[in-house]
Chain A
Amino acid sequence: MKEKVIEVRNLVKKFGSFVANDHLNFDVYQGEIFGFLGANGAGKTTAMKILCGLSAPTSGEVKVGGFDIYTETEKVKRNIGYMSQKFSLYEDMTIAENIRFFSGIYGISPKERKAKQEILLKNLDIESSKDSLIRSLPLGWKQKLAFSVAIFHDPKIVFLDEPTGGVDPITRRKFWDLIYETADRGITVFVTTHYMDEAEYCNRVSIMNDGRIEALDTPENLKKQYGAKNMDEVFLKIAR
């Protein structure tokens, strides 16, 4: 069995009397692509924000990258990358300036940055756009770039919150190629999505409903278990 990079035990998050996360229990292993599914308002984003240290849980134990999120928040943050729903590079800065800024914050030396930046630009095939403002780029590029910047400091885990919203199937497919490459490098990918074809790409999938995890297994096993042809049917059976 591989190393556990995320351990969640009895995680509860309440907003007043509303229970957003109701006793969540799950583990995520190193290098896997973990799909986090659920209808809107099921509590996916809330749980993800807790794992990233953006939000404090009401109760329960959570370890990310081997560190406790209550007491070792800053160590957790060194070891994760995050790409939110809201596209979040600085629109009024260029690609190179964004990379320089985020590298600086993670303490990456200018020398290392330059070397890695070159590889990044080459991989995404955007070397000539290095000095373009982010706001001038097409959405698909922005998403790939935001993802690349989120893993620029080689985190153990990267969290992607609906990373492919609003782009065409081909661009989405290309984005998933990037995700595979990342997982191959040993970085764990924790991804939420609404697209059930994307769920098929994951190693394991959890499906949330009303703040609880209703199912957690490989897409193959889930389809067998629910007697469904594809993940779409599985999802509809559980979410209803």
Chain B
Amino acid sequence: MKTIFYVIQKEFIQVRRNKTMLRMIVMIPLLQMLVLVFAATYDLKNVNIFLVDKDMSSTSRKLASKFEASPFFTINNASFSPEEGEKELLRNADNMVLVIPKGFERKLIRDDKASLQLLVNAIDGQAAQLGYSYAASVIRGFNKNIIAEWKGLPEFNPPFQINAVPRYWYNAELEYKWYMAPGVLAILVTLIGLFLSGMSLVKEKEQGTIEQLNVTPIRKIHFLAGKLIPFIVIALFDLSFGLLIAKIVFNLPIVGSLGLVFGFGILYLIGILGLGLFISTVADTQQQVMFVTYFFMMIFILMGGIFTPVDSMPKWAQLFDEANPVFHFMKVMRMVILKGSDFGDLIHEFFALCILGFTFLSLSVLRYRKTA
């Protein structure tokens, strides 16, 4: 058992001597939290509108000023030619073209209805939908105003309607950063854990020290445990560091128990480090490790639900995600930090992470052989 201690000591010495590694351990959490959380936001901030007002009536101008008044829209350009608007869309200068046809006001008065045209740049489908629905609600509001104005009385014979008033639980202000921060933290821990453990064994192979170890009577369980423990400590340090940044910079509310966050963190890291070690046993060079690790990272993270909700993925993808440790851990992080879920709510994730961790770890123990 004492041998584990000597391996741990050796790993820490080597990390301490490695300037690049030290910088990575400090800079990655800092950059990821500050850059990713700020940048990867779905908050709709500014939609540029190209206005084509062919009607030039008081009603059309009122509609335009409605858009101007909204904090989400800016009328960036105006012209009488829809083609010019299209050009702006192509240039990505504007996100939306609003065409008010000639005779809009007249038709509205005479027929009680009129049409508008909205051209939306939908390269980014999500942003397009969001922009459209905001625009639609501006137009709806405008519509109501007109009815009220023209019919005289606001509540005069109102059309029968149900009004749903949403209350947003767990993130009442729909602060997107709060949603992103726990997810980015999960990615951070994954990145650090996977790369550190992936590099560790293959580095010894490249330097030839692995042979020196393999001729010693060290037990491979002790050796692997000694390798893993320092990386768990480092990754947990980064998790705390990241949480601290989130707390200070974004005022992230941590509703649930920190103990639960770190408990699951350890469980999750055992699996991730197991996977890294496994990659390290298979690969011969650090370059190979980089490629394979990168591949896993991409799939795990993109499918893990940081940017796109897993609930709206196809069935097969949701099934795949059961084997995706990032998916489970990200869910745990969001549930505990934002909602204050307790262990009872996380039983499914607990068992999933246990099974994945056991599998990855067993794979690496089986694959690592002292005698080739």
Contact = CB atoms under 8 A, between A and B. Distances in A.
Interface stretch (B13-21, B121-129, B169-177): B13-21
Contacts of A82: 211-212, 215
A157 to B, nearest CB: 11
Interface in A9-47: none
A104 B2 contact: yes
Contacts of B216: 77, 102, 105-106
Q: Determine which residue in B14, B209, B213 has the highest number of CB atoms from chain A within 10 A of its CB, and name it.
A: B209
Interface stretch (B3-11, B80-88, B191-199, B254-262): B3-11
A58 interface: no
B3 A107 contact: yes
Contact of A88 (B9, B13, B18, B211): B211
A105 B217 CA distance: 7
A88 B2 contact: no
Nearest to A87: B208
B371 interface: yes
B6 A104 contact: yes
Interface in A51-90: 52-56, 73-74, 77-78, 80-82, 84-90
B106 interface: no
Contacts of B215: 52-54, 77, 80-82
A73 B208 contact: no
Nearest to A149: B212
B370 interface: yes
B212 A84 contact: yes
A101 interface: yes
Contacts of B371: 53-56, 73
Nearest to B4: A104
A161 to B, nearest CB: 9
Interface stretch (A92-100, A191-199, A211-219, A229-237): A92-100
Given A54-B211, A90-B209, A105-B218, 10 more contacts: A54-B215, A54-B372, A56-B371, A73-B371, A82-B212, A82-B215, A86-B208, A97-B10, A104-B6, A106-B216
17 contacts: A53-B215, A54-B211, A54-B214, A55-B371, A55-B372, A56-B371, A80-B215, A84-B212, A86-B207, A86-B211, A88-B209, A88-B211, A92-B14, A93-B10, A104-B3, A104-B9, A105-B7
